[in-house]
Amino acid sequence: MNQPAKIVVIGAGISGIRSALDLAELGYKVCLLDRAPAMGGILTRLDRQFPNNHCGICRMLPMFDRDNSEAFCLRKGLSHDNIELLLSTEVTGVEGNPGNMTVTMVRQATGVDADRCIGCRECEKICPVEVPDSFNAELGKRKAIYLEVPYQRPNQRVIDLQACTRCGECVKVCPTAAIDLDMKPEILTFENIGGIVLASGTGLFNPQDTDVYGMDHFPNVVTSSAFERILSSSGPYQGSLMRPSDQHPPRKIAWIQCVGSRNPMIGADYCSSACCMISIKQALFAKERLGSDTQTTIFYMDMRTFGRDYQRYRDQAEKENKVAFVRCRIHSIEPGDEEGNLKISYVDHSGKPVNAVFDMAVLATGKDPLRKIPDFAAHPGIIATDAVSEWMDIGSAVVSASAVSERLVRMLSSAGISPEKQAAPPLSDKVAAPPHLQVVLCSCHGSLDKVLAENQLAAELKKIPGRMDIMQVKSVCDAEGLEKVKETLESGPANRLLFAACDTQVFLPKLRQLAAQTGIPKEFMDVVNLRVLAENASSPEVLGEMMQQLEMRANRLFRKKITPTDSRPIRKTALVIGGGPAGLSAALALAAQKIKVILVEKQETIGGNFANIYDAQNREMIGQLIAEAKDQPLITIHTDTEVINNAGVAGQFAARLRDKNGAEITILHGAAVIATGGGKADLPADTRADNKIISLYDLEAELNQPGMDAANINTVVFMQCVGSREEPRNYCSRICCLKSLKTAMKLKELNPDCNISIFYRDMMTYGESEKFYTQARAKGIIFIPFEKQEKPQIKIEAGRVLVQGFDPVLNEPVCLEADRVVLASGLIPNPVDVVAQAFQVSTTRDGFIREADSKWRPVDTGREGIFVCGLARGPVRADEAVQEGKAAALRALRILARDTIAASRHSAYVRHAICSLCERCIAICPFDARFIDPDLGRIMVDPVACQGCGLCAAECPNGATLIGDFEEYGVLDEIEAALG
Amino acid sequence: MSVYAMVKDASPTVAVKAALTKLLSQNLVDAVLVAAKSPYSALPMPTLFAEASAMDGIDPLAPAAPFNAARQAATVSRQATGKRLALVLRPCEIRALIELVKLNQCTLENVVLIGIDCLGRMENEVFLRHASALGDVTSEFQKNTSLQDDITRTCQMCEQFEPAHADIAMSTLGMAENSVLFASGSETGEALLKELGLSPAENPAQRETVTKQLREKRAACKKEVFAETSEKINSIEKFEKMIGTCLNCYNCRQACPVCYCRECVFLTDVFAARPETLLRRAQKRGSVKLPTDTTMFHLTRLSHIAHSCVGCGQCSSVCPSNIPVADIFTTVAAQVQAAYDYVPGRDVQEPIPYLIFAEKQKSGEPK
């Protein structure tokens, strides 16, 4: 077979990055492209996410094989040996079949040669053209030559060729001749492409296009993404929360939900899913920044807090932080009496009209209804993430992206394509020899010649103890200069390299390239920014600092050594706990990659809630999973069995299974997926007063009986959120609203005259399921909202079942006599005590298994090698459970697909001879990577779980714990130089 | 509630010995660790007794302790052995032992802690001088207040002279001559007191008066030392002057009961200065004082043990350069411990602050 196929990932937003990293971690070569001149997508403009107001995107970085990628802020940039990043690039054509496709792309002219640009900003300083800053929602200005995302590295500029006047000033000042104003777009053709992931996103609705809510003429009406920029320290006001008109801090802020969403008139018959939580977060942030007395009001139709822990977040915002929630669709915004203020009229909860004045209004915008899915999307071999058609929160996007990665890997393996096995090359004798440093002084095209000579930098460097060669080159930013360095390294004795050149981040890709060419590890190379001298050549302090920097890095490089890292074989067997949709899809995904699967099911049959599922699509989907799992020879199914214990580390676990007769066996495996599921919650005991009061599940079952006659069911009242979304079960079960809608419509189908009313708190028809809500209303189903503290009451009077409530639309009490009162009792997880204990994973207060990070690592647990999906993790629909199962399988495959697993260079290790076994390092390790071996009486480090964070080394009082590549002796020598 | 018992008409040493003899001979414990005169010196050394008949020379109340015995106690209680041990310790030794338990260096499983009132200890040479003049310093010390003024500077500022957290506490303060009060501090202690068959008693009222007086005297001394020391170490230059004659002998760390590392980081290669480094430093600065890293050593040790320092003063006692190490450590430790509302040795369940210190917790804010 010829060269292994590459994969193209279109779109470098969250989904694209996740998918590219998934595939790269499995060993595939990936080409990640984005039409923007920067990676990161929408996320580049969102600094912090709920629930913890942190960013956390770095948690998507590889957890092991970390040496393959730069482990720094992923928001700033992505660098992985297996990923080629192509920016300002769009796909124009796709040909061929899965496994062997040809992709044509066009790389737009940016006017700047990225290989030569050193990010010095000279061009930006001199550029006379100013245009509104699109990155900051046009609230500030930027130059025509600019950096798309100001904090990204490498920070190579691009030219906005539409705004550029071609005055040529930038060309004159560029020290590296990187600018070419006549640059033409470039056509790129990639052959032998195995498959394509389409992750191009949905875009953001722009209310300016239609002047919704006066976006065009009220400066203080901003979109939620503009508000994010206002909050950001890299934003137009450097992080001070001010309103645009007069740059005063607002005292009263309104959020208006569903702008551009849930609006069939503009073709937006969908919910954008994430905006409700974004607005709550922003309101809390505003209070944090401006004080708790800042008035924040969210105008909404339904607060869609459908994620597992979202309801409590909202409750806290409402109760503790006094964010006001007003259920009202705002008609329009009018100017207030004072300059810049905004008048919003609405009807409050008690039916009274209110005229409120705000300093600022934020429009919660979501998916762009005008964004088209590219024409080539339907080409075989292209798999699209859900985020292409739906706006979604980060966690869902990450799950969907990994599920797509799984489908792609399955497609490739059925086409006979597998990733190239990459064995790390052995270290050469030269690298292992005593340290010998090559210093390369870059005179930056001759501009530093004079400074370097006058200050005898080379002579000063020679005073640093250690073997050292020094060379001066004219420029290392072009191929010629770099080639000269490479030749010197190859022919000379040096095994360490120190560049005195320019920005470190700009240099990283060059170091990786040199490392690959010369066999000298990149850890043995470093860069000091010499260009600061160009600006401050006459200042003796700058020179002293420069010398100090060089000596610090030199000292560090002299003490570097490669510590051999442990490697261990992987048991290529997976343990899947739970045979419901999530577990089955995980098991099948793993088996498709030739991984043996042991599927453990507590019940006597697999399928989970299959018996209770009536939705035709779901029945077919799950039925197929069951059949496939039974047919798959690599899957061994143990029914009536539980996992009672699990020990070991990722790649090498041993689990104890016990069947219903008490017989126990031990099985060896490399990774486990917990998919213990959940099921319907019972109705509260006090609701069983009459047999006309039934659960939603009961009605669904009744209507699906063959030959069902609904003629005598004439009035039906549904009641949502029974027992859920309040303590102690304060979470949304996520399935009930849609199920109620579908069931109600089925009833309407069977009996068109049936009167149906649905009492609801917030209809949770997120995403595309909004369409069912729209249809149900069109079919004449009545929807009556209620608040948690004013629930409708069920009364039984002389055999009649009455529901008393209050209809805010009629603004009067209602009393409905019902043939059926249908209660949506929600979902609860199956008990997880035993499994959580066995796998030592943590649980939420509601009894779900807690993931490592709800946004960035949604199907990982805190313990490497143990994954979680489906209802065990939180309420999900069956199709979502299947997606999660695939995502969990993909995460497990990172471990199971390899033969051995090695620690990264930056991992902790222990000098046992001086260890006092106080175990403080075990207590402090945030990755559970350390444990005590009772037989050896030693502290052990799981090199796979260890992330090299260094807490253990800081905690250890006598240096018995060290971090590879960060050993004290090198760091102390560096400090020695820093102290002067 | 504690149970009390009184032994009268016996010197405290004799009463303690009688009780320990009974513990061993009735197989209530398998071994006893207690300070005893050795054949080589009048200075009592911690000694492990398995036979009651061998206990002749025990001298737990001697105003001398060549070192804090917590480390020796931790050596014999490193792991549970199935044997029951009685450890007779001074209050500062018990506190240090409790810190070592938290640091996983020993276990209190199957250990009976027996504490004694401590009137302080003398520096070794002072004690030996008195010993050669008086013979039995221990008995004389109990009644002779001028002899009691000869205790170390650190003991003079110690307010925690009563044994806390002992299963059995043996008290002499505020008792009539030749009387010892036994008090239980736990169910184990209570059961043992019963087994010992001592006559029940009340906690004598005058004890409180005597201990209060002593505590006030010690507190005044402490205040003075802290004020004086704070002034001497309130800048890095002054601190360096204070420790300027340090030899890097590491005696202080060896004497410290809570400096628990098997091998000190300063003995490893981590801080070992290489000749080229020293030469380069001399080249850059003109001169380098040797040994280097003395400031680093003391600051490191301070940061490692300030929260667990029990104020036993052994570090000062062993310094060949007469650096008042304990003054520095107790002064800093008092502030660190106050900031975290932490008292070393107060409770074995109370975790050492740095193990639980939360990201959001501001410094000085109690947990």
What is the DSSP code string of A848-865?
A: PBPPSBTTTBTTB-SSTT
Please list the residues that pair with A483 across neighbouring strands. none
Residue A329 covered by a domain: yes
- List C-alpha distances in Å: A417 to A401, A853, A866, B254, B294: 20, 32, 27, 64, 63
- Across chain A, which has 980 residues, the per-10-residue mean pLDDT values are 79 97 95 95 90 88 84 88 94 95 96 89 96 93 95 89 95 93 96 96 86 89 96 93 96 97 93 96 95 97 96 97 95 92 90 92 94 91 93 95 98 90 78 94 85 83 94 87 94 95 82 90 90 71 85 94 80 98 98 98 96 93 97 98 94 96 97 97 85 94 91 95 95 97 96 97 97 97 94 92 92 93 96 96 96 96 95 97 98 94 87 93 90 89 88 92 89 91
Give the range of the structural domain holding residue A36, as residue numbers without chain letter.
Answer: 1-107+185-202+371-416
Selected residues 66-95 of chain B with any CB under 8 Å from a CB in chain A: none
Q: Which residues of B touch A920 (CB under 8 A)?
A: 103, 355
Q: Provide the 3-class DSSP secondary structure of residue A131.
A: strand
**What angle in degrees, to the nearest 10, is found between the helix axes of A224-231 and A275-290?**
30
Condensed to tens digits (0 to 9), the pLDDT of residues B115-140 reads 999 999 999 999 999 999 998 999 99
Sequence ranges of the domains in chain B: 4-221, 234-356
B47 Cβ under 8 Å from any chain A Cβ: no
Starting at the edge strand that comes first in sequence, how are the strands of the sheet with A671-674 ordered?
Answer: A635-638, A596-600, A573-577, A671-674, A866-868
Instruction: Find the CB nearest A465 among B260, B276, B354.
Output: B276
Residue A278 covered by a domain: yes
B354 to A923: CB separation less than 8 angstroms, yes or no: no
With contact defined as beta carbons under 8 Å apart, do B340 and B307 qualify? Answer: yes
Last residue of a domain, one of A795, A825, A855: A825
**Four-CA torsion A888, A890, A891, A897, nearest 10 degrees:** 130
Among residues A538, A577, A619, which one has the least CA distance to residue A888?
Answer: A577
Query: What is the pLDDT, as a whole number, of residue B358?
Result: 61
Q: Do A806 and A849 sit in the same domain of this protein?
A: no
Q: Provide the 3-class DSSP secondary structure of residue A537.
A: coil
Selected residues 294-313 of chain B with any CB under 8 Å from a CB in chain A: 304
A465 to B355: CB separation less than 8 angstroms, yes or no: no
Rounded mean pLDDT, B223-245? 96
- Structure tokens, A419: 């990733």
Q: Provide the 3-class DSSP secondary structure of residue A324.
A: strand
Instruction: Find the CB nearest A916 among B105, B271, B279.
Output: B105
Residues present in chain B in total: 367
Task: State yes or no: pLDDT of B365 exceeds 60.
Answer: no
Position with higher pLDDT, B38 vs B366? B38
Residue A614 covered by a domain: yes
**What angle in degrees, to the nearest 10, is found between the helix axes of A479-491 and A504-518?**
50
Q: Distance between terminal CA atoms of chain A?
A: 59
CB neighbour class for A431 (10 Å; exposed up to 12, middle 13-18, buried from 19): middle
Q: Do A48 and A191 sit in the same domain of this protein?
A: yes
Q: Do A487 and A547 sit in the same domain of this protein?
A: yes
Query: What is the pLDDT, as a whole number, of residue B362?
Result: 46
Among residues B68, B73, B28, B78, which one has the least CA distance to residue B52?
Answer: B28
CA distance A916 to chain B (A): 5
Q: Do A619 and A552 sit in the same domain of this protein?
A: no
A972 to B355: CB separation less than 8 angstroms, yes or no: no
Report the predicted TM-score, pTM, of the whole model to 2 decimal places.
0.89
Q: Do A625 and A541 sit in the same domain of this protein?
A: no
With contact defined as beta carbons under 8 Å apart, do A311 and A725 qualify? Answer: yes
B355 to A973: CB separation less than 8 angstroms, yes or no: no
Q: Do A103 and A113 sit in the same domain of this protein?
A: no
Nearest residue in chain A measured CA to CA from B285: A980
Nearest residue in chain B measured CA to CA from A969: B270
Please list the residues that pair with A93 across neighbouring strands. A104
Query: What is the pLDDT, as a whole number, of residue A537?
Result: 65
Residue A421 covered by a domain: no
B263 Cβ under 8 Å from any chain A Cβ: yes
Instruction: Find the CB nearest A914 among B263, B279, B284.
Output: B263
Selected residues 939-968 of chain A with any CB under 8 Å from a CB in chain B: 955, 957-960, 968
- Structure tokens, B116: 């004694």
Residue A426 covered by a domain: no
Instruction: Find the CB nearest A958 among B265, B276, B277.
Output: B265
CA distance A281 to chain B (A): 20
For A912-949, letters b (16+ CB in 10 Å) and e give eebbbbbbbbbebbebbbbbeeeeeeebbbbbbbbbbb
Cα(A411)–Cα(A408) distance, rounded to whole angstroms?
5
Rounded mean pLDDT, B285-302? 93
Condensed to tens digits (0 to 9), the pLDDT of residues B81-102 reads 999 999 999 999 999 999 999 9
Q: Which residues of B touch A958 (CB under 8 A)?
A: 261-265, 268
Q: How many domains does chain A have?
A: 7
Nearest residue in chain A measured CA to CA from B274: A973
Q: Do A764 and A691 sit in the same domain of this protein?
A: yes
Residue A970 covered by a domain: no
Amino acid at B325: V
Query: What is the pLDDT, as a whole number, of residue A175?
Result: 87
B277 to A969: CB separation less than 8 angstroms, yes or no: no
Residue A750 covered by a domain: yes
Selected residues 447-466 of chain A with any CB under 8 Å from a CB in chain B: 463-466
A97 Cβ under 8 Å from any chain B Cβ: no
A913 to B263: CB separation less than 8 angstroms, yes or no: yes
Q: Do A879 and A750 sit in the same domain of this protein?
A: no
Q: Distance between terminal CA atoms of chain B?
A: 29
Query: What is the pLDDT, as a whole number, of residue B61?
Result: 95
Amino acid at A589: A
Q: What is the ipTM of this complex?
A: 0.86
Q: Do A480 and A591 sit in the same domain of this protein?
A: no
- CATH number of the domain that residue A404 is part of: 3.50.50.60
Q: Do A32 and A87 sit in the same domain of this protein?
A: yes
Q: Which residues of B touch A916 (CB under 8 A)?
A: 103, 105, 260-262
Cα(A886)–Cα(A840) distance, rounded to whole angstroms?
23
Q: Do A150 and A261 sit in the same domain of this protein?
A: no
Q: Which residues of A touch B261 (CB under 8 A)?
A: 914, 916, 957-958, 960
Query: What is the pLDDT, as a whole number, of residue A904?
Result: 84
Cα(A910)–Cα(A209) distance, rounded to whole angstroms?
61
With contact defined as beta carbons under 8 Å apart, do A251 and A359 qualify? Answer: yes
Residue A564 covered by a domain: no
Cα(B206)–Cα(B198) distance, rounded to whole angstroms?
21
Q: Do A705 and A817 sit in the same domain of this protein?
A: yes
Last residue of a domain, one of A900, A916, A942: A900
With contact defined as beta carbons under 8 Å apart, do A869 and A582 qualify? Answer: yes
Instruction: Find the CB nearest A465 among B104, B280, B304.
Output: B280
Beta carbons within 8 Å of A754's beta carbon, 6+ residues apart: A710, A713, A714, A715, A716, A747, A748
Last residue of a domain, one of A350, A365, A380: A365
